[in-house]
A and B are shown apart, each in its own frame.
Chain A
Amino acid sequence: MTKPLQRPKRKDPLKKTRIPLLPQGTRSRTALGLTSAAAEGRFQLQVCSDCAMVVYPPRDACPRCLSARLPFKDVPNGGTLLAETTIRTSTDVYFRERMPWRIGTVALDAGPSIVAHLHGDVREGERARLQLKIDKSGQAIAMALPESDTPNMADDPQWRELTCDPKYRRVLITDGRTAVGQALAEALSEAGASVIFVGVADPWKPFPGEDKLRKIERVEIVALDLTDTISVNECAGEFAARVDILINTAEHVRTGGIIERKGLTIAREELEIRYFGLTRLAQAFGPVLRARGADGVNSAAAFVNLLSVYALVNWPTYGAFSATEAACLSAAQSLRTELRPGGVKVLNVFFGPLETEWYQVVPPPKVTPSALANATVRALQHGLEDVFVGDIAEDIRARLAVSPKALERELGS
């Protein structure tokens, strides 16, 4: 049984912050297929298109029929733990400071044997389910979990090393005036975050939902205006060392394409709030997050971007807005590489039109703020990198995978 996590004590300011180390992240190009699956929380292995053999470790030829057609596909993740070991000495500096470490051989029902990290509640000889996870190096690894959930299982130290669980972590929500920001505060409070800093520009100005927000347990309103570099820097100066998860909830949704708009005023506003706001946050909080990636139970864990799914492909009805979201997505990809030395993940949450005033004319299905908030918390608890929330986002994701050109035409018609 997993020992429940203890709330971390206040940190001794004289104590050295442990320098983040990473496990080896080098992989063959083919093995990156596992990373793609892990990023979205899928369990995919190569499956031979010619003989249906499930193949592991990743290969470039099928070991049964020598076919080169080996796409990654969803496969059943059940298996049996044949043997386990507790490693007590490692040649790798990352694992050395995390010893002892359990691994084991899982014979998958689907065929191959997989050497995997072991959750503390998996027992030798018993059934297990495998998941692919992104480790601190940003690459996929397999982890064996008990067949059914166990009490406090998210608190397992080997598991928590792979997730960004908000439990006992301190979170900054950058804009509390939005319905999504408020829903997130509630969801994070329920998920056991120890403090939820909620940024509000000009906090003396009242806003809808304020009373409810202030009543949420462990919420602390802080002054933060993403369009103002000084404000962002001041907020970071005061709170960055106590922020383990940063969630950028800033939004600016306006209809219209590129030509219809006269001048650059609205475009500038969009960029100011979204792209430059993200840049300001990254510059002010990024270095501190990156330095605190191995700082115990409440180590820095994630930088979260809430992105319109139209960041992936432009929706001309919201053409200029889509362009700004695309800029934010591109910046997020850069951030991923820049934060990796600290083992800090960048989670991109893609969503379709929301059930808010800004999408008033858009027909359903739409995503409620609380659905988006819950999906974001779940993604953190599972350590995902990309998550698609709602039917529209899932649909765009699926159609994009088939034909980006077809999707471009369809969104433009």
Chain B
Amino acid sequence: MNLAPTSAPQSRRRPYDGVVVAAPVTVPYRRYSTNTAHWWVGRAVREVIQKARLKSADIDGLSLSSFTVGPDTAIGLTQHLGLSPRWLDHVPLGGASGVVALRRAARAVQCGDAEFVVCVAGDTNQVDSFRRMLSTFSRFAQDAVYPYGSGGPNASFALITRNYMKHYGATREDFGKICVAQRANALKFPHALMKKPLTLDEYLGARAISDPIHLFDCVMPCAGAEAFLVCREDVARSLELPAARLLATIERHNAFPEDPIQYRGGWALDIDEFYAMAGVTADDVDFVQTYDDYPVICMMQMEDLGFCGKGEGPEFVRSHTLTADGSFPHNTSGGQLSVGQAGAAGGFLGLVEAVRQVTDGALGAAVPGAAIGLVSGFGMVTYDRGLASGAALLAGGRA
């Protein structure tokens, strides 16, 4: 019996007709916070409710993602926040949390199990919380990663980056271009923690963290929260809420377990069905929010999401500006590399930004004429590779 997926599923999925995403919320990040994750989650949920002009009693669905809310899970938060939902979810999937929370919530709304689902991700960052999380992140991390130099994700992604560079000829300049473009986007985004411009020379001259990973390849762990509301399109219209329609989603875990080292993610398995469900192609996409825990992963997503072939990522990056006003608008708020990584909220950042872009609500650099946006999620390195991947296509009024 071989458990590895061999091909995309044969059954056709039903479209998400009439489901929208609205009320994108960011609670401004802080490098460190003495507040708890509960506080951050509470701020985000409150802002969604206010933005949608609802009351707590209207919220009948809640989806929570957080690494630092322990010992609580979503159920504890219902009592903490005074919500009585009839649909509840906890999505502990790190960088894939946003897409996964959205696709589950969308089906709940579509089928009538809930009318208003608030999807929220929030984490605090206390001075020692990152270290403590690393050593207990997973059983494999405890047994087979942390005892090896305790370099955390920097070391794990250094190995993936090194292998990718060797195989596909990517250079530090290519990764630098991604980081520099995201910083340019971030300078216009009010909530970005990084406020100073970044030049390629500064990127290249930064200190090594875990070769070939250098300082500006790494996200800055911080505290923060992101949230959005999932509801029916007609309901959003009656509330006069700007909303993004959900065209397609995919999700895949532990794809390609036989690859000796990660050079592709689960998107590659499901990408054809993804665009088919939406009835669009990669050419129709106006901007892309990749999951940017490290720039090599951005490049991998450009390939696996169909914008170029495998191994063509470096050339693709060289041929685009990657800024919000350019030929391939990418991580338009600055991404985690420039905004900061607020734990699981890092898996919501691109999604919340995409909703803003297609609903003319950009807080920073707006992508001119943005109609269709692609959001991608990736996460959960329990041993040597990211296990979770997902993506969503969103459309605004122009599509």
B146 touches A24 (CB 8 A): yes
User: Does B324 interact with chain A (Cβ within 8 Å)?
Assistant: no
- With A57-B140, A91-B130 as contacts: A85 and B159 at CB distance below 8 Å: yes
A202 to B78, CA, bound (A): 78
Min distance, Cβ A76 to any Cβ of chain B, angstroms: 16
Q: Does chain B have a CB within 8 A of A84?
A: yes
CB nearest to A67 among chain B residues: B1
A95 engages B134 (CB within 8 Å)? no
Question: In the bound complex, do residue A28 and residue B139 qualify as a contact, i.e. CB atoms below 8 Å apart?
Answer: yes
Q: Report the Cα distance A98→B71, complex, angstroms.
A: 34
| Mask: chain B, 132-153; 1 = CB below 8 Å from A; 0 = not | 0011000110111111111110
For residue B111, CB closer than 8 A to chain A, the reply is no
Give which listed residue, A26, A31, A85, contacts B151 with CB less than 8 A: A85
Stretch at the interface among A11-19, A99-107, A288-296, A300-308: A99-107
Q: Is A139 an interface residue (CB 8 A)?
A: yes
By a CB distance below 8 angstroms, the chain A residues around B213 are: 85
Give the residues from 90 to 147 in chain A that come closer than 8 angstroms, CB to CB, to chain B: 90-92, 94-95, 101, 103-105, 107, 113-117, 124-125, 135, 137, 139, 141
Is the beta-carbon distance between B147 and A141 smaller than 8 angstroms? yes
A26: B residues at CB distance < 8 A = 135, 142
CB distance from A219 to the nearest CB of B (A): 38
By size class, the interface of chain A is 35 or more
Enumerate chain A residues within 8 angstroms of B2, measured Cβ to Cβ. 64
Number of residues from B at the complex interface, CB < 8 A: 41
Whether A86 and B139, one on each chain, are in contact in the complex, defined by CB atoms closer than 8 angstroms, is no
Contact across chains for B261 and A91 when beta carbons are under 8 A apart: no
* List of B residues within 8 angstroms of A139 by Cβ: 147
Q: A56 on the interface (CB 8 Å rule)?
A: yes
Q: Please state if A105 and B142 are interface contacts (CB–CB under 8 Å).
A: no
Contact of A115 among B134, B154, B159, B257 (CB under 8 A): B159
Interface residues of A in 47-91 (CB under 8 A from B): 56-58, 63-66, 82-91
In the complex, 7 of the A-B residue pairs with CB atoms within 8 angstroms, ordered by the A residue number, are A24-B150, A63-B3, A89-B210, A103-B149, A107-B261, A113-B384, A115-B145
**Which residues of A are at the interface with B, using a C-beta cutoff of 8 A?**
23-28, 31, 56-58, 63-66, 82-92, 94-95, 101, 103-105, 107, 113-117, 124-125, 135, 137, 139, 141
7 additional A-B pairs beyond A86-B211, A104-B159, A107-B261, beta carbons within 8 Å, are A82-B261, A86-B210, A87-B154, A87-B210, A89-B210, A92-B135, A115-B148
Interface residues of chain B, those whose CB is within 8 Å of chain A, are: 1-3, 130-131, 134-135, 139-140, 142-152, 154-156, 158-160, 162-163, 166, 207-213, 257, 260-261, 383-384
